[in-house]
């Protein structure tokens, strides 16, 4: 549990280790000239950085963190008043910026998570990009997303997918504002130097089929229009409606649950069984009243949004108390367990996790916490920043 923080710096001990004890002043001078020449020639000796480079276990820069809904909402609302949506920015999205990531606007090393605010009667203009995207609707009704000509109306709890290079715009014909969570693989996409982006020639796409057509055509999931081929790269439907998701949670709760995550479901492409995006997966989980799960840890990072209820996640021994609307991050290889202290209210968490990319590269590992009945000793409490 105590991750050793090994600093990247020239280590005096290792310098001594490689110079013979009998070394003369002249040899030491030679050696320091050697290191200087390495630096001048853009070279680095492995023997001085190895412990950090090949750490014994993941040593993430991202930290466990919690963002309060009250703050997010207020800041998004004020942005809605002061900041128009225009081409170039395209979206009124405010990114959760992990304090461990040195000012980068990313929630974890692989994932961008933002809160997006759309005023009534606004349009967030159409564009497409190689970054893979999802949105999970938090509040407001009457707004829509059009993905590749399919327009879907958005309600609380819906998951909307924007696979790579599909045109998408969001808009509204009602007075009420809409607010949702955005999840994209922007940091991974940029790390791999794979970013392409194109604005659409018009503000919004033309709608090319019946409204909510994607849901009508594919929403049941277990049946496919017989004349179509299975959709392999990403799911055939762009939207997973909350009513279906909730039904699945309630059904699963009658049958089985995970000791680590309680009643947890992964959104999948029903035609392949795979995650909705290649670079990250989405989960919905219900923590039943009174549940306290066992701790475990995995390679890969996760961002959670509290869709409903309140509770606690203990991450590496620190208690993170959350309530509806909050967001929190679990970094790679961090012990974590969930608790719903309420005796009568369920808690529901939506999350995005970078497991698919980790697993695809054969880097996935997980471990259960076996001591103390599977529960970590709590050594502290996270104090969230409160909006002033």
CB of 114 to ligand GTQ, least distance (A): 4
Spatial distance between the Cα atoms of 30 and 34, rounded to a whole number of angstroms: 6
85 near ligand GTQ, rule: CB under 6 A: no
Tokens 């974890």, residue located: 108
Q: Are 151 and 171 in contact (CB under 8 A)?
A: no
Sheet holding 93-95, edge to edge: 93-95, 112-118, 178-184, 133-139, 159-162, 239-240
The span from the CA of 61 to the CA of 68, in Å, is 22
Q: What are phi and psi for residue 364, nearest 5 degrees?
A: -80, 135
114 binds ligand GTQ (CB under 6 A): yes
For ligand GTQ, the binding residue among 182, 308, 312, 337 (CB under 6 A) is: 182
| DSSP tag of 268 | B
A 10 A CB-CB count for 161 gives 24
Identify which of residues 6 and 123 has a Cβ nearer to ligand GTQ in the complex.
Answer: 123
Minimum distance, C-beta of residue 140 to ligand GTQ, in the bound complex (Å): 15
Q: Are 64 and 331 in contact (CB under 8 A)?
A: yes
Task: Enumerate helices (H) and strands (E) in the chain, giving the number of each.
Answer: 8, 23
CA-to-CA distance for 158 and 368, rounded, in angstroms?
Answer: 32
At closest approach, how far in Å is the CB of 124 from ligand GTQ?
Answer: 6
Distance in Å, CB of 131 to ligand GTQ, minimum: 7
# chain residues binding ligand GTQ, by CB under 6 A: 8
Torsion of the alpha carbons at 44, 48, 49 and 52, rounded to the nearest 10: 180
Nearer to ligand GTQ, 184 or 314 (CB): 184
The string over 344-363, giving b where at least 16 C-beta atoms fall within 10 Å of a residue's C-beta and e elsewhere, is eebbbbbbbbbbbbbeeeee
List the interface residues with ligand GTQ, window 197-216 (CB under 6 A): none
Residue closer to ligand GTQ by CB (options 114, 358) is: 114
Residue 384 beta carbon to ligand GTQ: minimum distance, rounded to whole angstroms: 22
Give the footprint of ligand GTQ on residues 295-324 (CB under 6 A): none
Query: Is the CB of 116 or the CB of 332 nearer to ligand GTQ?
Result: 116
Q: How many CB atoms lie within 10 A of CB 267?
A: 22
Contacts of residue 94, Cβ cutoff 8 Å, sequence gap at least 6? 72, 75, 76, 79, 114, 115, 116, 117
Rounded to a whole number of angstroms, the minimum distance from the CB of residue 316 to ligand GTQ is 28
x/- binding map, residues 89-108, to ligand GTQ, per CB under 6 A?
A: --x-x---------------
Nearer to ligand GTQ, 163 or 311 (CB): 163
Instruction: Give the nearer residue to ligand GTQ in terms of CB position, either 93 or 315.
Output: 93
Q: Which is nearer to ligand GTQ, 14 or 190 (CB)?
A: 190
**Radius of gyration of the CA atoms of the chain, in A:** 24
- Enumerate residues 34-73 that contact ligand GTQ by CB under 6 A: none
Provide the minimum distance between the beta carbon of 215 and ligand GTQ in the complex, in angstroms, as a whole number. Answer: 19
- Least Å distance, CB 211 to ligand GTQ, is 20
Pairing of β 347-353 and β 281-287 = antiparallel
User: Interface with ligand GTQ includes 184 (CB under 6 A)?
Assistant: yes
* 352 part of the interface to ligand GTQ, by CB under 6 A: no
**In terms of CB distance, is 205 or 316 closer to ligand GTQ?**
205
Out of 68, 92, 151, 168, the only residue in the binding site for ligand GTQ (CB under 6 A) is 168
Instruction: State which of residues 116, 146, 205, 214 lies at the interface with ligand GTQ (CB under 6 A).
Output: 116
Q: Classify strands 380-381 and 318-322 as parallel, antiparallel or unpaired.
A: parallel
Binders of ligand GTQ among residues 124 to 163 (CB under 6 A) are 133
* For ligand GTQ, the closer CB: 133 or 138: 133
Exposed, middle or buried: residue 301 (CB in 10 Å: 0-12, 13-18, 19+)?
buried
- When the beta carbons of 189 and 271 are compared against ligand GTQ, the nearer one is 189
Q: By CB under 6 A, name the binding residues for ligand GTQ.
A: 91, 93, 114, 116, 133, 168, 182, 184
């Amino acid at each position: 549990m105590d991750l050793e923080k090994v600093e990247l710096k020239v280590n005096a001990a290792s310098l001594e280790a490689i110079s013979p004890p009998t070394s003369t002043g002249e040899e030491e001078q030679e050696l320091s000239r050697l290191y200087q020449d390495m630096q001048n020639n853009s070279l680095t000796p492995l023997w001085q950085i190895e412990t950090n480079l090949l750490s014994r276990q993941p040593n993430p820069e991202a930290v466990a963190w919690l963002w309060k809904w009250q703050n997010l909402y207020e800041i998004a609302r004020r942005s809605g008043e002061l900041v128009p949506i225009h081409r170039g920015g395209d979206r009124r999205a405010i990114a959760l910026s992990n304090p461990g990531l040195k000012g980068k606007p990313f929630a974890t090393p692989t994932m961008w998570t933002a809160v997006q605010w759309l005023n009534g009667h606004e349009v967030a203009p159409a564009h497409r990009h190689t970054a893979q995207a999802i949105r999970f609707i938090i509040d407001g009704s009457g707004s829509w997303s059009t993905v590749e000509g399919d327009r879907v109306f958005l309600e609380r709890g819906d998951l909307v997918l924007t696979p790579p290079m599909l045109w998408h715009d969001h808009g509204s014909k009602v007075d009420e504002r809409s607010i949702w969570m955005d999840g994209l693989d922007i940091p991974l996409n940029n790390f791999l130097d794979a970013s392409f982006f194109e604005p659409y020639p018009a503000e919004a796409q033309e709608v090319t089929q019946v409204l909510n057509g994607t849901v009508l055509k594919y929403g049941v999931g277990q049946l496919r229009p017989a004349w179509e081929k299975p959709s392999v790269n990403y799911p055939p439907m762009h939207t997973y409606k909350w009513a279906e998701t909730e039904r699945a949670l309630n059904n699963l709760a009658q049958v089985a649950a995970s000791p680590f995550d309680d009643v947890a479901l992964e959104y999948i492409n029903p035609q392949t069984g795979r995650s909705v995006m290649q670079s990250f997966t989405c989960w919905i989980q219900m923590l039943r009243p009174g549940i306290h799960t066992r701790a475990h840890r995995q390679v890969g990072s996760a961002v959670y949004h509290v869709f409903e209820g309140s509770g606690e996640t203990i991450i590496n021994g620190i208690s993170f108390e959350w309530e509806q609307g909050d967001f929190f991050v679990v970094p790679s290889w961090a012990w974590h367990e969930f608790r719903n202290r309420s005796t009568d209210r369920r808690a529901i968490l939506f999350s995005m996790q970078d497991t698919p990319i980790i697993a695809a590269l054969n880097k996935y590992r997980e471990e259960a916490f076996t001591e103390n009945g599977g529960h970590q000793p709590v050594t502290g409490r996270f104090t969230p920043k409160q909006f002033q």
